[in-house]
Amino acid sequence: MKDVRVTHIGGPTTLIEVAGWRILTDPTFDPPGHRYAFGWGTSSRKLSGPALAAADVEPVDAVLLSHEHHADNLDGAGRKLLARAPVVVTTRAGARRLDGRARGLRPWATTELTAPGKPSITVTATPCRHGPPLSRPVAGPVIGFALRWETQEHGVFWITGDTVLFRGVREVPERMTVDTVLLHLGAVRFPLTGRLHYSLTAAEAVELCRLVQPRTIIPVHYEGWSHFTQGRDAVAEAFAATPDNLGQRLHWLPLPSQGTAG
């Protein structure tokens, strides 16, 4: 996408720079080594640290937070950053838990990012289901984000959020044209629930991108945590096997290198 710069900080955390805006997604800045409980007997250990410290990323104009109740999308250092962010956009339940410091959106609702001297950006919340059918009471609500601004030429910038492939995300290409997709992957699994997965598998990602047909695919949320079961190799292999050359649209951003848990 023209005039957009995306920096991968680690896991789902990216800095999106466009038209003078600095937009941060799912802030995770804790060092590696700690184990985090995700509820219902599940947990994960952080294996690698962020490529940049929060102080190196700030100031930011807005934070897009797909959900605030899992530490691989919002950790302790990320929560401290939220308090300094002028705008936070997240789920309605998340906004309530953040004591009203965020704008809460339900799927397909919109909000505007506005600032003097910058073009406005329309943020549309897109559906997510963070696990198999009927898992929402356990996994909690999640949203993705579609960003639209005046100078876009080919379509929106879409951040999928943590989701599996289901009817809700299949609706995205029916409602909008996507130029670039920030694709949350990892095929998250936990020993407690066996082969059930809670984020896109490589095969699901291929199927989704065939539906969406983005010009640019940026994989994130596939490394740095023990509950990810598919990394870069599995994703690259799945996309390389497609007859329509979807693999040529993959853009791998540099991986975090600041720290690794022993």
pLDDT digits (tens, 9 = 90+) for 62-77: 999 999 999 999 999 9
| Widest Cα–Cα separation across the chain | 51
In a domain, 261, yes or no: no
CA angle, corner 27, sides to 210 and 172, nearest 5? 25
In a domain, 33, yes or no: yes
If one counts the domains in the chain, the total is 1
- pLDDT tens per residue, range 177-195: 999 999 999 999 999 888 9
Long-range contacts for 15-18 (Cβ within 8 Å, ≥24 apart)?
A: 15/52, 15/57, 15/60, 16/147, 16/157, 18/121, 18/147, 18/149, 18/157
> What pLDDT shows up at residue 261?
47
Q: Which residues contact 237 (CB under 8 A, 6 or more apart)?
A: 202
Contact at 8 Å (CB) between 118 and 20?
yes
In a domain, 256, yes or no: no
Contact at 8 Å (CB) between 11 and 36?
no
CATH number at residue 224: 3.60.15.10
In a domain, 259, yes or no: no
> What pLDDT shows up at residue 154?
87
pLDDT of residue 258 exceeding 50: no
Distance from the Cα of residue 163 to its chain's centroid: 9
Q: Name the burial class of residue 205, with classes exposed (0-12), middle (13-18) and buried (19+) by CB atoms within 10 angstroms of its CB.
A: buried
> What pLDDT shows up at residue 153?
84
Q: How many CB atoms lie within 10 A of CB 253?
A: 14
Report the distance separating Cα 32 and Cα 90, nearest Å.
25
**% pLDDT > 70, the chain:** 96
Contact at 8 Å (CB) between 19 and 113?
no
pLDDT of residue 260 exceeding 80: no
pLDDT of residue 262 exceeding 50: no
In a domain, 258, yes or no: no
In a domain, 16, yes or no: yes
Where in the sequence is the domain holding 22, given as residue range(s)?
4-249
- pLDDT tens per residue, range 120-168: 999 999 999 999 998 888 889 999 999 999 988 889 999 999 999 999 9
In a domain, 48, yes or no: yes
**Cis? peptide before 59, omega within 30° of 0:** yes
In a domain, 240, yes or no: yes
pLDDT of residue 44 exceeding 50: yes
Q: Among 199, 197, 243, which Cα is nearest to 219's?
A: 199
Identity (one letter) of the amino acid at 252? W
